[in-house]
Amino acid sequence: MALAGLFLITFLFVHLGINLLLLVDDGGELFNRAAHFMASNPLIQLFQWVLFAGFIIHMIYGIILQVQNWLARPSRYKVEGYSHLSPFSKFMIHTAAIILLFLVIHLVNFFFKAKFGHIGEVNYEGMVLEDMGGLVRAQFQETGLVVFYIFALIILAFHLHHGFQSAFQSMGWNHSRYTPFVKILSTLIAILVPLGFIAIPICIYFNLA
C-alpha cells in the first residue's frame, strides 16, 4: 500500500513535468514531441504496465484494508470519534473514490483517445506527430470539465497530504532527524503537485498559454 503509493507519487512528478511543457509558448511543439516520446519509447511502453500494476495494487490493497477496518467495528458509537486527528486521514477511501472516477474520465478523454481513437496530426520539419497538445487545448475549453479537473485535483491534494508522510510511518521510516522534514515535504507535495496540474486547464481556459 505504502510502497505502491510512493511509486504513484513519482509517476505524478513525471506526468506533471511533461504537462508543464504545454505552458511553453511554442504552439505545443515541445509537448507533442515529449508525448510522442512517451507513447513510442519501448522502455516506457514496458514501464506503463508497471504503472498500471502500481495503480491496481494500491487500489486492491486499499479496498481490502478498508473493508477489514469497517468490519473491525460492527456496532458504531453514538457519539463518533471526537479525538483530535487530521481531517485528511479520515477520508482516504472517499478521496480515493473521487480520484478513481477522475482517473477513468481522464483516461477516456486523453489516453484512450490517443491510443485507440483518431486525433489530429501536426508536421514538424517533416516529422508527423499526433497533436496531443491540440487535443488538450480543445478539451479544456469546456467549462464543466475544467471545473471537474480542478475539484478532483484539490481532492488529490488532500489524499497526498496524508498519504505521503503516512507511507513513511507504515514502512517504519521514522527518525527524529528526518520525520519532521518528511511531514513538511508531504504538505509541500500536496500543495505544489496539484497546483501545477491545476495551472494547465486554468491557463488554457483563460487563454494564458
Partner 1 sequence: MDFKLKIWRQKSAAVKGRFETYKVSGITGGTSFLEMLDVLNEELIAKGEEPVAFDHDCREGICGTCSLYINGRPHGPDDRVCTCQLFMRRFKDGDTIIIEPFRARPFPVLRDLVVDRSSFDKIIQAGGFISASTGNAPDANAIPIPKRNADKAFDAAACIGCGACVAACKNASAMLFVSAKVSHFALLPQGKVEARERVQKMVAKMDELGFGNCTNTYACEAECPKGISVENIARMNREFLSAKLVTDK
- Residue ranges binding partner 1 (CB under 8 A): 65, 68-69, 71-86, 89-90, 92, 162, 165-166, 169-174
Query: Backbone dihedral region of 127: left (phi > 0), alpha (psi from -120 to 50 degrees) or beta?
Result: beta
Q: Shortest approach of partner 1 to residue 199 CB, angstroms? A: 30
φ, ψ of residue 137 to 5 degrees: the values are: -60, -40
Tell me whether residue 58 or residue 162 sits nearer to partner 1 (CB atom): 162
Tell me whether residue 5 or residue 196 sits nearer to partner 1 (CB atom): 5
Tell me whether residue 8 or residue 145 sits nearer to partner 1 (CB atom): 8
Q: Shortest approach of partner 1 to residue 82 CB, angstroms? A: 4
Tell me whether residue 24 or residue 67 sits nearer to partner 1 (CB atom): 67
Which grid cell sits at 93? 477511501
Q: Shortest approach of partner 1 to residue 8 CB, angstroms? A: 17
Which grid cell sits at 130? 499526433
Cα–Cα distance for residue pair 173/42, rounded to 1 Å: 34
Q: Shortest approach of partner 1 to residue 59 CB, angstroms? A: 15
Tell me whether residue 98 or residue 146 sits nearer to partner 1 (CB atom): 98
Burial of 70 (0-12, 13-18, 19+ CB in 10 A): exposed
Q: How far is residue 104 from each of residues 85, 152, 174, measured CA to CA in Å?
A: 31, 12, 35
Q: Shortest approach of partner 1 to residue 55 CB, angstroms? A: 19
